[in-house]
Structure 1
Amino acid sequence: MTTRILANDRGHLDSLRVHHADNVRVALKDLPAGHPVDDGDRHLRLAEAIRHKHKFALRDLAVGDTVVMYGVTVGRATRPIPAGAAITTDNTAHSTATSEPQARRGQWQAPDVTAFASATFDGYHRPNGQVGTANVWLVVPLVFCENRNIEVLRQCVADALGEDPYRDYKRMARELLHGSSGTAPAAPSDERLFPNVDGVRFLTHTLGCGGTDDDALALCRLLAGYICHPNVAGATVLSLGCQKAQIEMLQNAVAERDPRGLRPVHYLEQQASVSEEALIREALTTIFDGLSEANRTPRTPAPLSALTLGVECGGSDGFSGLSANPLVGAVVDRLVALGGSGILSEFPELCGVEHELIARCRDDAVAERFAKLMEAYQRQAARVGADFSMNPSPGNIRDGLITDAMKSAGAAKKGGDSPVVDVLDYTEPHTRAGLSLLCTPGNDVESTTALAGSGANLILFTTGLGTPTGNPVTPVLKISSNSELAARMSDVIDFDAGPIIRGEASIDELAERLLRLCLDTASGRYLPRAVELAQYDFIPWKRGVSL
């Protein structure tokens, strides 16, 4: 589903019609009532003031008429909407009435990737052939009862390595409480003990016991995805002993992904240990021994076919589907053309554009699996009294994303236009080169957690309102839909797609730059803001609850 910035709209910097079939335009800045609008051979004046990022009708819409944007149905009028009036939750409802898909199976035109034909990235090559964009040791609790011990290990390891990411904030707290005479923490050492290792990552969660057998199995499969991730050198696992998610269950899940046992994993059980001190000592020993072993693997050149981009959006605004999302989609298309892969998740945010994605599936079997997983997800949501139409958040609505279908039409653009080669259920590993769809909720952290669990070794995260979300094992690059956000939250934003909105740069131009930033990140030459801030978010999905 291609975003078409109409040629006759290039000169209009105050509003935009995305597709020739659309019956709405998007305000690119605050527009007053009576403002003249030229839309091809149609001329009108705004019936009311329109806030930037919001949409307004190009013709009179009667009750029941469809609202069309991106060339697809994104809502229906619940009351008459005169031409030039705003599209709001008061006059428009979610609708997924489909139209003829723009995509056609077998007709994808790959972008020109000549400039990247010989490109590589410097990654960590694993014995099983995978390539990591980072090299971390992972510390994992099998059950929430071990979260406190995980935190003890986190603080002990940071202190021992002299790599406390919160050192400056601790100094700030001391100075606020005691004044400038407060004792300052020790200065960090410029010499890293393990220069080929990107650190130790510690997971915590609220699962592992008290749920269903399926909950425990899903958790173990997710943890196995992290333990066997290409960015992970090995892992230390803490178990209490009596919980539902047993060590053997996790071992079996790991063996499914690593049948030759190439990934070092140490399992420690507190109820079988002589004391907490003994447990902590043994865990620290496995961590430091693991770091020494991981440090023997340096970065070396790898082909772009070893790169898998997970794509995500959060804190979306009315510009996300016009700038940041299609920009990321253009990067995914380029990577696929170069032999690499992309993973598009967030099934609730694909509601309303299923027909487009089905038309892009490489064969009927892939299309059928996508349809069945979408239907099953919708049934699960209905059982708890929810519906995909409830997905837009108050922040989304304030910024012009009035319906789920409108949000979905823009969100799906993160997947570009390449064929869908596979459809994965939650926790399933990515195995086929090209674009895959992954069944996850729309919750930002649950979805990014799942993308990494299925093997994404780099994540592109678009946002219009701003979010600090990161991931423990996969670097996350944050792309802003507008330049105001990029300037205001420069400490969390890595790339600005705002020039697209202002007409100062094309999607193609910025896609080349963003892909190069991806390669720099994958090579360790660029450190994403989320990594600098130690923003390592991890939330497993308890199915049937989240949208």
Structure 2
Amino acid sequence: MRQQTLQIHPADNVIVALQDVPKGAALSGVTALRDVSAKHKLTTTFIPKDGDIIMYGVLVGHANEDLPAGELITTANIRHASGNFGVRTERQTQWNQPDVAAWKDRSFLGYHRTDGRVGTGNYWIILPLVFCENRNVQLLHETLIKGLGYHKGNPYETLLHEMLHGNAGASAHNGVNSQRPFPNITGIKLLTHTMGCGGTKDDTRALCGLLAGYVTHPNVAGATVLSLGCQNAQISMLREEIEKRSPGYDRPLAILEQQQEGTEKALMEQAMRQTFDGLAKANAQERQPAPLSKLIVGMECGGSDGFSGISANPAVGKVADRIVALGGSVILSEFPELCGVEQELSDRCTSMELAEKYTGLMKTYASRAEAVGSGFDSNPSAGNIRDGLITDAIKSAGAARKGGSSPVTDVIDYPGWVQRPGLALLCTPGSDVESTTAEVGAHANVVLFTTGLGTPTGNPVTPVLKLSTNSRLAAKMPDIIDLDTGPVINGDETLDQAADRIMELLIYSASGHYTAKAQVLEQDDFIPWKRGVSL
């Protein structure tokens, strides 16, 4: 018989319903006092008003009223709460490294850069240094993808053609040019934004840092940057940030300024010629074997549900531990979704300095949110709550499991980048696209993205592999889900077995043998974080 409930940690005083539970059902020593939908939680013991709600072994809420054993927890009868945290002298950096014998001799086929990084793709990117240039970069991008065979068309173009001309003309309509003169260029991608002028100096510097992160990204073969000239985000600032990330940067890079070139025609002709020359040089790159230690894996979640913390997230956490044990790098971000587990992560930092940096960033972020009348308790979305993530601490305790159990070897403030192997904590919002954008800016060459409700989020230059927490979602939205971890919930698979499947998908994707569903859909999301309160 399939297991009905799960107690995640021995100290927990709530259990998770793995399937719909009817009122009166006997569950692990308690009786359900009402119908409980799958993914939701009920108490295992009497909890007095203001008493602690414990889940994942940590404080995740306080009771608003006396709660008898077997009671369903809701936004009405409990409220968000999390424990205090600080920097302790003793470091908790011992961990049980996983057995990676099956993976240590494996490799992926990647693009080797002279700075030592290895890409999982070979993209050319086109970006504006300021929003004033969005139209020009869009025009350049449209011209290139159509002329060079990267325009895929879409099924809705065919539908419109049928509506206009009838089925007889449908077969003649084909928006795809299959001839590509640069076969080793994975794609030509556009990164538009609404920043670059009119914001604070910090916003400008952060934008230039993020854009430099993409220009120097291992998955990027070269770039075209268009500047107006008078904006706050100056070319010199971008070049400084590029040099920080890749000293002596030697990939093709075309940077043009409209106020120097004069007319739009002059600007666009120069951009076309320089980009074409750069593409020809970048096309010389070919995939070559690389060890798994060259992987930089971003861990992300979005559209989370009550199963996220017990299927996809811990399975991804096991992958994280394997990547670290193999000498690779892992990025755990979304700081508002680390609320409640700060002490554990602080203790896992390999030095007092890193722990102080991490706790300082968390406290500053929280205080900024509170200063505008919000807080981390505002993080869960309506969908999160509807599917069992009642408080931010419940959501966070499950989300943090994506980072595995290895020591924290770096703490990175936005828009920084990975500079050493191991597990890095990257300060970003919990917002899916802003966080994914930042992880890729930090040089993640693959992103593992868990979801329980479904989200199409992708990225222009890095494959975002979508992992469902439950099989119902995988069946309902197969066009966006790459791998289903629902068998863990059903009891048909262990977390280690799920991690094995994720590892194989990760290697295939990194080698170009598998195209992520978000890439197929051309879900090229890119949103810079304008530093402020974004949860």
State the TM bucket, normalised to the shorter chain.
Answer: over 0.9
Q: Report if aligned partners of 2:14, 2:43 keep a CA contact under 8 Å in 1.
A: yes
Structure 1 position 107 matched with structure 2 position 94: yes
Rounded Cα–Cα distance in structure 2 between residues aligned with 1:219 and 1:247: 12
Map 1:34-49 onto structure 2 (within 5 A): 34-38=24-28, 43-49=29-35
Deviation at 1:370, TM superposition (A): 0.4
Aligned partners of 2:458, 2:188: CA distance in 1, in Å?
A: 15
Where does residue 440 of structure 1 map in the other structure?
A: 428
1:384 and 1:544 in contact (8 A); partners too: no
Q: Distance in 2 between matches of 1:246 and 1:464?
A: 42
Mapping of residues 67-82 of structure 1, within 5 Å: 67-82=53-68
Cα offset for 1:189? 4.6
Give, in whole Å, the separation in 2 of the partners of 1:497 and 1:353.
24
Q: Name the counterpart of 1:30.
A: 20
Partner of 1:13: 3
Distance 1:273 1:182 in 2: 44
Residue 95 of structure 1, aligned match among 62, 78, 81: 81
Taking the aligned partners of 1:298 and 1:80, their CA distance within structure 2 comes to 65
Note if contact 1:167-1:185 (Cα within 8 Å) is conserved in structure 2.
no
Are 1:406 and 2:406 counterparts?
Answer: no
**Structure 1 residues 418-427 or 272-281, which shifts more?**
272-281
Q: Within 2, Cα distance between the matches of 1:258 and 1:98?
A: 39
- Partner in structure 2 of residue 59 of structure 1: 45
Q: Indicate the residue corresponding to 2:167 in structure 1.
A: 180
Pick aligned residue for 1:525 from 510, 513, 523: 513
Question: What is the letter of the counterpart of residue 464 of structure 1?
Answer: G
Which letter does structure 1 place at the counterpart of 2:323? L
> How far off is 1:100 after superposition?
12
Q: TM-score, normalised by structure 2?
A: 0.97
Q: CA deviation at 1:267?
A: 1.0
Give, in whole Å, the separation in 1 of the partners of 2:162 and 2:61. Answer: 54
* Aligned 8 A contact 2:50 2:64 in 1: yes
Task: Indicate the residue corresponding to 2:123 in structure 1.
Answer: 136
Q: Judging changes above 3 Å, is the alpha-carbon distance between structure 1 residues 25 and 100 closer, same or farther for their aligned structure 2 residues?
A: farther
* Matched residue, 1:455: 443
2:153–2:176 CA contact under 8 A, matched in 1:
no
Contact 1:216/1:244 (8 A) holds in 2: yes
User: What is the TM-score with the length of structure 1 in the denominator?
Assistant: 0.94
Residue 484 in 1 paired to residue 472 in 2? yes
Partner SS, residue 116 of structure 1: coil
Match status 1:516 vs 2:512: no
The one-letter amino acid of 2:451's match is T
**Cα offsets for 1:215-264 (capped at 9, x unmatched):** 11110011000000111111100111111111111111112222213232
User: Per-residue deviation at 1:414?
Assistant: 0.4
Give the corresponding residue for 2:238.
250
RMSD after superposition: 1.7
**Percent identical:** 55
1:335 aligns with 2:309: no
Task: Compute the displacement of 1:117 (Å).
Answer: 1.6
CA deviation digits over 1:25-76, x for unaligned, max 9?
A: 11111111111112xxxx2211000011000011111101111111111111
Taking the aligned partners of 2:22 and 2:164, their CA distance within structure 1 comes to 50
The match for 1:231 is: 219
**Equivalence map 1:318-467=2 (5 Å):** 318-467=306-455
Cα offset for 1:200? 0.7
Counterpart CA distance in 2 for 1:221 and 1:270 is 22
Q: Is the 8 A contact 1:72 1:98 kept in 2?
A: no
Mind listing any 5+ residue stretches in structure 1 that lack a counterpart? 1-10
Give the CA deviation at 1:182: 5.3
Contact 2:384 2:390 in 1 (8 A): yes
Shift of 1:15: 1.2
**Count of residues in correspondence between the two structures:** 532
Q: Counterparts of 1:113 and 1:158 in 2: how far apart (Å)? A: 41
Give yes or no for contact 2:252–2:281 (8 Å, CA) kept in 1: no
SS of 1:29's partner is coil
- Provide the C-alpha distance between the structure 1 equivalents of 2:228 and 2:522, rounded to a whole number of angstroms: 27
Structure 2 unmatched runs, 5+: none
Measure, in 1, the Cα distance between the counterparts of 2:133 and 2:85: 51
Question: Which residue in the other structure is 1:7 paired with?
Answer: none
**In structure 2, C-alpha distance between the alignment counterparts of 1:397 and 1:69, rounded to whole Å:** 16
CA offsets 1:241-297 (integer angstroms, 9 cap, x no match)? 111111111111112222213232211111222321222222222222222111101
CA contact (8 A) 1:73 1:98 kept: no
- Work out whether residues 321 and 405 of structure 2, in 8 Å CA contact, stay in contact via their aligned partners in 1: yes
CA distance in 2, matches of 1:495, 1:447: 21
Aligned to 2:525: 537
CA contact (8 A) 1:392 1:401 kept: yes
Q: Distance in 2 between matches of 1:214 and 1:70?
A: 37
Structure 2 CA distance for aligned equivalents of residues 169 and 154 of structure 1? 21
> Are 1:206 and 2:194 matched, yes or no?
yes
Q: Which residue of 2 aligns with 1:151?
A: 138
What is the aligned partner in structure 2 of residue 50 from structure 1? 36
**Letter paired with 1:461:** F
* Range that drifts further, 457-466 or 170-179: 170-179
Matched, 1:122 2:114: no
Q: State the match for 2:282 in structure 1.
A: 294
When structure 1 is superposed on structure 2, of 281-290 and 481-490 the one drifting more is 281-290
User: Following TM superposition, by how much is the alpha carbon of 1:191 offset from its aligned partner in structure 2, in angstroms?
Assistant: 4.5
1:506 aligned onto 2:502: no
Aligned to 2:303: 315
